[in-house]
C-alpha cells in the first residue's frame, strides 16, 4: 500500500481467568485508540507543547480494521517474551497470515527476568514470519477494566510503533539514536508523568526532550504524539517497496 493504509488486524486472546478474556467491546475500544493516535485525532493532541507542534506527525495515514478475534482458554497463567503464545504447539495460537495481517496476541500476564512486561513487538525485519506481530498483557489492553496508569490503550500504540519500524526515542542507549531527526536526542527513557519542559544534555548540547512521544516509556496519560520523522519511517515501511507492503 502507498500513502494511506488500513491495516487488517487479527486479535488472538489467550485467557486463563474470565477477566482476561477481554470483551469484544474492549477490543473495539483498543482499535479505536490505535485509529485516533495514528490519525492524530486523540483527545489530548492539544497538549503537545507549542515547541513540538511544528514537528508533530498530524495524521500518519495509518488506520486499523479488526477482521477477526480468536479466543482460547489455557491453563497458562503467566507468559514470557519467548513467543510461546504465537504457536499452538507451545500452547498459543498460530498467527493468521502475518504477511497480510497484523496479529495481536492478548495474554493473561507477562514477565521478563521476573519483571512485569506490558507488551513486546517484532520489527519489520520479521515481516511474515510465524512470530510476527504484537503481544500485550490483558491488564494493559484497551481502556475499560485496564490497569492504571497504563489504561488508555497506549501500550498497543507503542508496540505497533515498533512493528512499523519505530525505535525507542532514546535509541536504547545513553544519548542513543532512534534514526529520527526531529525527535531530540535524549539521555534515557522517561517514566511516570514528567513535567514539561524537561531538559537533557547529550554531547554538550542541552535539549528539551519529547517525553510525550508514544515511543518513550511514560504513563499512558503522558504520551500523545508521534513526530513527522516517525511518520516518514512508518510510511516507508508500509509503502509498496517497504517490508510491510503486504498489509
Ligand atoms: N515495551 C514496553 C514495556 O513492556 C511498553 C511500554 C508502553 N508504555 C505505555 N505507557 N503504555 O514496558
Ligand atoms: Zn518499546
Ligand atoms: Ca532523534
Beta bridge mates, 13: 71, 106
Buried b (16+ CB within 10 A) or exposed e, 114-139: eeebbbbbbebeebeeebbbbbbbbb
In angstroms, the first-to-last Cα distance of the chain is: 7
Of ligand 1's listed atoms, the one at least distance from the Cα of 216 is 8
Given a cut of 60, whether residue 41 has pLDDT beyond it is yes
Phi and psi based region of residue 2 (left: phi greater than 0; alpha: psi -120 to 50; beta: remaining): beta
The SS3 call for residue 4 is: coil
Q: What is the pLDDT of residue 3?
A: 76
Pocket probe mutation, ligand 1, options 106, 155, 159, 194, max atoms within 8 Å of Cβ: 155
Q: Which residues are catalytic?
A: 159
- Condensed to tens digits (0 to 9), the pLDDT of residues 200-246 reads 999 999 999 999 999 999 999 999 999 999 999 999 999 999 999 99
Can you tell me the distance from the alpha carbon of 215 to that of 123, in angstroms, rounded to the nearest whole number? Answer: 14
Q: Helix crossing, 24-39 with 154-163: angle to 10°? A: 60
Task: Say whether pLDDT at 1 is over 60.
Answer: no
Question: What's the chain's length in residues?
Answer: 247
Grid cell 489492553 is found at 141
Indicate left, alpha or beta for 10 from its phi (over 0: left) and psi (-120 to 50: alpha).
beta
Digit-coded pLDDT (tens) for 96-118: 999 999 999 999 999 999 999 99
Tell me the ligand closest to 169's alpha carbon: 3
CA distance 138 to 205: 41
| DSSP, res 225 | B
The three three-digit cell numbers of residue 209, written as one number? 526532550
Over the stretch 155-165, which tens digit does the pLDDT of each residue have? Answer: 999 999 999 99
Separation between Cα atoms, residue 220 and residue 209, nearest integer Å:
17
Amino acid at each position: 500500500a502507498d500513502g494511506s493504509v488500513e491495516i487488517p488486524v487479527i486479535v488472538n486472546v489467550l485467557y486463563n481467568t474470565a477477566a482476561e478474556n477481554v470483551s469484544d467491546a474492549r477490543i473495539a475500544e483498543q482499535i479505536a485508540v490505535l485509529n485516533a493516535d495514528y490519525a492524530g485525532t486523540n483527545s489530548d493532541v492539544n497538549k503537545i507543547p507549542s515547541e513540538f507542534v511544528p514537528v508533530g506527525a498530524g495524521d500518519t495515514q495509518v488506520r486499523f480494521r479488526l477482521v477477526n478475534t480468536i479466543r482460547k482458554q489455557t491453563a497458562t497463567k503467566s507468559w514470557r517474551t519467548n513467543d510461546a503464545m504465537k504457536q499452538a504447539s507451545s500452547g498459543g495460537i498460530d498467527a493468521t497470515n502475518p504477511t497480510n495481517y497484523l496479529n495481536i496476541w492478548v495474554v493473561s500476564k507477562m514477565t521478563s527476568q521476573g519483571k512485569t512486561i506490558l507488551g513486546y513487538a517484532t520489527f519489520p525485519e520479521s515481516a511474515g514470519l510465524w512470530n510476527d506481530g504484537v503481544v500485550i498483557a490483558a491488564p494493559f489492553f484497551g481502556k475499560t477494566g485496564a490497569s492504571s496508569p497504563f489504561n488508555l490503550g497506549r501500550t498497543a500504540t507503542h508496540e505497533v510503533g515498533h512493528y512499523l519500524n519505530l525505535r525507542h526515542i532514546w535509541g536504547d542507549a545513553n544519548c542513543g539514536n532512534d534514526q529520527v531527526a526531529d525527535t531530540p536526542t535524549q539521555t534515557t527513557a522517561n517514566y511516570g508523568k514528567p513535567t514539561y519542559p524537561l531538559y537533557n544534555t547529550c554531547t554538550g548540547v542541552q535539549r528539551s526532550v519529547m517525553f510525550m512521544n508514544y515511543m518513550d516509556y511514560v504513563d499512558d496519560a503522558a504520551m500523545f504524539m508521534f513526530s513527522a520523522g516517525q511518520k516518514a519511517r512508518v510510511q516507508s515501511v508500509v509503502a509498496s517497496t517497504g517490508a510491510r507492503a503486504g498489509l
